[in-house]
Amino acid sequence: MAFFDLFKKKTPTEKLEDRLSHTQLTCTGCNTTRNALDLYNQFYICPQCGKYLTIGARERINLVVDQDSFQPWFDVVEESNPLGQSEYLKKLKTAREKSGNNEAVLVGRAKLGGVDVVIGACDANFMMGSMGRVMGERITKAFEEATRLRLPVFLFCCSGGARMQEGIISLMQMEKTAAAVKRHSKAGLFYCSILTDPTMGGVTASFAMLGDVILAEPGARVGFAGPRVIQQTMGQTLPAGFQTAEYLLEHGMVDDIVERRDLRYRLFYLAKVHTTRIAEVTATEGRVPSNRTNEHLAAEQKTPWEKIKLCRSRDRASTMDYIDLLFKHFYELHGDRYFGDDNAMIGGIAYFGAQPVTVIGELRGADMAESVKRNFGMPKPEGYRKALRLMKQAEKFRRPIITFINTPGAFCGVDAEQRGQGEAIARSIMEMSDLKVPVLCILIGEGGSGGALATAVGNKVWMLENSTYAILSPEGYSAILWKTEDRAEEAALIMKFTAQDLYELKVIDKIIPELGGANKQTVQRIADYMKQGIEEFLSEYRGMTKEQIRDDRYNRFRKF
Ligand SMILES: [Zn+2]
């Protein structure tokens, strides 16, 4: 059975089964009433209309954690009424009865696929999951305990915002929880927030949007100001799908949208990846036999212009081909958390043998439709910012980074300039120089100028035999030198951008043979060759300190 199939289905305990079978739930989408046990078995997704039903905190947690592993913390009635409103006390009493919970959040300790975690869930049935002092306190204490116990935190968010009845004290919970998240983060620990319907106001402006990884359920409404407020105060018409999980993904604010039935596996995967330490990883599996003849030297020699054309051909093996062949369980993460999700640049977490790694690379598209979607492999600032965000995340969790470079260059357009294309590339280069984890960069196609360098600041830089890496395209070079693009082929001869040229200039450290050309027929053998090299690369850096790894990279580029 596949690794993740184990995490798809979960049977309720007898006690839960008994309770659920005596409960009826009505779908808010289509008004059908069903037995809660049936709905539990379908992850509380309405079989009639597909709506994701609101789930109480306890069920939320039980749906994902290992059987009977959840131990609640701080689960006692605690009163907070800073403004002294007697109305509020009555409301709290009703909320307790309605939700079967004593506050709007439940936290505790549990296991996810055997991994110890701290987990919590906000409860929409308790005053719309609004955050007052008790809720803020529980979340803060959960993060403090997780920091002390060195455990990752998973938190299902769901909230109408700050709790109005507690006034400014409610606002202080935003600061308090965010500060606890910061301390947990500084201790190098992992936090995943899962945004469910609805997550609004003060909760989005504090712990909900601060996860190392932020997941969302399909269709969940997420935003700071409510749609009605925006419409009424600003008189603005809201775009279709505004403030939905899908809208957020497109705008770079969440890493992924996960179907409810896949959540258990996804959370387990993230818990596992973020608790694996480099020191625990020994020999990697799938070692390829050593057959390192200089096959590539015997290969047919191509002219620089022929190489350029080869790199641009649609059947050239892509970043995705190498990811599929070199790694297992690649999980793509999205967004720069500022503006958008750039499809020209992809990145995520994967396993190289038993070693978690972060993988990043451009995609150019295998046909016209995909090429348009991928902007022909030309990233915009949000692409570089996503790549950098993922690299900083890799550094935090001590994951080696492997980048694949295949881009005609950074996108040149008004929108890219408006959002700071130069700044995005500059910051990426600067921050990469300082990363304290091993970085391996592999040029697999065209390496177009600064746009390529932005993800090519590695401890080691390798190139495929027919790849190119240049200051400018030969067409551009010809245009600048001779005021015409027609002499590109001639320019290619003098530019020194082939792997062989760059190896001599010590810009790259290794040439990877292409065995005739990197395409569908040869990519498996090329990947096998790379795999062996990557194993050697990782073991070379495994014994080094963080500072040694960083200084090694600094010195590599310092010599130019
Ligand atoms: Zn329904």
CA 124–ligand 1 middle distance (angstroms)? 18
Q: Does 440 fall in a domain? A: yes
Residue with tokens 């060759």: 529
Q: Where are the alpha helices (DSSP H) in 102-152?
A: 133-149
Containing structural domain, residue 74: 54-78+92-273
CA 329–ligand 1 middle distance (angstroms)? 33
Burial of 281 (0-12, 13-18, 19+ CB in 10 A): middle
Q: What is the pLDDT of residue 40?
A: 87
Q: How far apart are CA 75 and CA 164, in angstroms?
A: 23
CA 113–ligand 1 middle distance (angstroms)? 31
Domain boundary residue among 219, 245, 273? 273
Q: How far apart are CA 490 and CA 399, in angstroms?
A: 43
Q: Where are the alpha helices (DSSP H) in 397-466?
A: 414-418, 421-433, 449-453
- Listed in order, strand segments (DSSP E) in 249-369 are 256-257, 328-332, 345-352, 355-362
Q: Does 416 fall in a domain? A: yes
CA 223–ligand 1 middle distance (angstroms)? 24
Do 209 and 96 fall into the same domain?
Answer: yes
CA 72–ligand 1 middle distance (angstroms)? 31
Q: How far apart are CA 101 and CA 281, in angstroms?
A: 42
CA 38–ligand 1 middle distance (angstroms)? 13
Q: What is the pLDDT of residue 195?
A: 98
Q: Quick one: CA dihedral 394, 399, 400, 401, positive or negative?
A: negative
Q: How far apart are CA 395 and CA 549, in angstroms?
A: 12
Residue with tokens 């020699």: 301
The number of CA neighbours under 13 Å toward the Cβ of 450 is: 16
Q: What is the pLDDT of residue 301?
A: 80
Q: Does 308 fall in a domain? A: no
Q: What is the pLDDT of residue 70?
A: 96
474-482 vs 304-312: helix axis angle to the nearest 10? 130
Do 252 and 190 fall into the same domain?
Answer: yes
CA 60–ligand 1 middle distance (angstroms)? 19
CA 50–ligand 1 middle distance (angstroms)? 6
Using pLDDT thresholds of 50, 70 and 90, give the confidence band for residue 20.
confident
Do 385 and 451 fall into the same domain?
Answer: yes
Q: DSSP characters for 365-408?
A: -SSHHHHHHTGGG---HHHHHHHHHHHHHHHHTT--EEEEEEES
Do 128 and 194 fall into the same domain?
Answer: yes
Q: Does 351 fall in a domain? A: yes
Do 68 and 201 fall into the same domain?
Answer: yes
CA 53–ligand 1 middle distance (angstroms)? 8
CA 362–ligand 1 middle distance (angstroms)? 41
Convert the pLDDT of each residue in 384-394 to its tens digit: 999 999 999 99
The pLDDT of residue 436 is above 90: yes
CA 34–ligand 1 middle distance (angstroms)? 10
- The CATH number of the domain holding residue 65 is 3.90.226.10
Using pLDDT thresholds of 50, 70 and 90, give the confidence band for residue 235.
confident
CA 252–ligand 1 middle distance (angstroms)? 30
Q: What is the pLDDT of residue 288?
A: 42
CA 158–ligand 1 middle distance (angstroms)? 20
CA 539–ligand 1 middle distance (angstroms)? 54
CA 36–ligand 1 middle distance (angstroms)? 13
Q: Does 301 fall in a domain? A: no
Q: What is the pLDDT of residue 13?
A: 74
482-509: burial string, b at 16+ Cβ within 10 Å, e else = eeeeebbbebbeebbbbbbbbeeeebbb
How long a stretch of residues is the chain?
A: 560
CA 227–ligand 1 middle distance (angstroms)? 24
- Nearest alpha-carbon partner for 118 in 161, 77, 69: 69
Convert the pLDDT of each residue in 148-207 to its tens digit: 999 999 999 999 999 999 999 999 999 999 999 999 999 999 999 999 999 999 999 999
Checking DSSP bridges between strand 468-470 and strand 213-216, what pairing results, if any?
Answer: unpaired
Domain boundary residue among 273, 297, 328? 273
Do 119 and 250 fall into the same domain?
Answer: yes
CA 55–ligand 1 middle distance (angstroms)? 14
Q: How far apart are CA 516 and CA 3, in angstroms?
A: 36
Peptide bond into 304 cis (omega under 30): no
CA 35–ligand 1 middle distance (angstroms)? 13
Q: Check: CB of residue 511 under 8 Å from CB of residue 466.
A: no
Domain boundary residue among 208, 242, 273? 273
CA 31–ligand 1 middle distance (angstroms)? 6
Q: How far apart are CA 499 and CA 504, in angstroms?
A: 9
Do 213 and 103 fall into the same domain?
Answer: yes
Do 192 and 264 fall into the same domain?
Answer: yes
Here the tokens at position 557 are 């580029």
CA 43–ligand 1 middle distance (angstroms)? 13
468 by DSSP, 3-state: which? strand
Do 430 and 548 fall into the same domain?
Answer: yes
Q: How far apart are CA 58 and CA 37, in angstroms?
A: 14
Q: Check: CB of residue 155 under 8 Å from CB of residue 120.
A: yes
Q: What is the pLDDT of residue 338?
A: 96
Q: How far apart are CA 46 and CA 7, in angstroms?
A: 21
CA 47–ligand 1 middle distance (angstroms)? 7
Q: Does 122 fall in a domain? A: yes
CA 469–ligand 1 middle distance (angstroms)? 55
| H-run or E-run covering 416 | helix 414-418
The pLDDT of residue 11 is above 90: no
CA 26–ligand 1 middle distance (angstroms)? 8
Q: Does 380 fall in a domain? A: yes
Phi-psi region of 109 (alpha: psi -120 to 50; beta: other; left: phi over 0): beta
Phi-psi region of 194 (alpha: psi -120 to 50; beta: other; left: phi over 0): beta
CA 91–ligand 1 middle distance (angstroms)? 29
99-128: burial string, b at 16+ Cβ within 10 Å, e else = bebbbbbbbbbbbbbebbbbbbbbbbbbbb
Here the tokens at position 34 are 């069903």
Structural domain count of the chain? 2
Convert the pLDDT of each residue in 32-78 to its tens digit: 999 989 998 899 999 999 999 999 999 899 999 998 999 999 999 99
Q: How far apart are CA 135 and CA 128, in angstroms?
A: 12
CA 45–ligand 1 middle distance (angstroms)? 8
The pLDDT of residue 19 is above 90: no
Do 123 and 256 fall into the same domain?
Answer: yes
DSSP symbol at 45:
B
Q: What is the pLDDT of residue 286?
A: 39
Do 268 and 355 fall into the same domain?
Answer: no
**Residue 38 Cα distances to 14, 24, 43, 133, angstroms:** 14, 10, 9, 36
Using pLDDT thresholds of 50, 70 and 90, give the confidence band for residue 540.
very high
CA 347–ligand 1 middle distance (angstroms)? 36
Residue with tokens 């692409």: 383
CA 196–ligand 1 middle distance (angstroms)? 17
Q: Does 44 fall in a domain? A: no
186-211: burial string, b at 16+ Cβ within 10 Å, e else = eeebbbbbbbbbbbbbbbbbbbbbbb
Using only C-alpha atoms, the chain has a radius of gyration, in whole angstroms, of 26
CA 309–ligand 1 middle distance (angstroms)? 54
Q: How far apart are CA 35 and CA 47, in angstroms?
A: 12
Global pTM? 0.93
CA 465–ligand 1 middle distance (angstroms)? 57
CA 253–ligand 1 middle distance (angstroms)? 28
CA 24–ligand 1 middle distance (angstroms)? 13
Phi, psi of 443 (to 5 degrees): -85, 115
CA 331–ligand 1 middle distance (angstroms)? 31
DSSP symbol at 498:
B
Do 209 and 328 fall into the same domain?
Answer: no
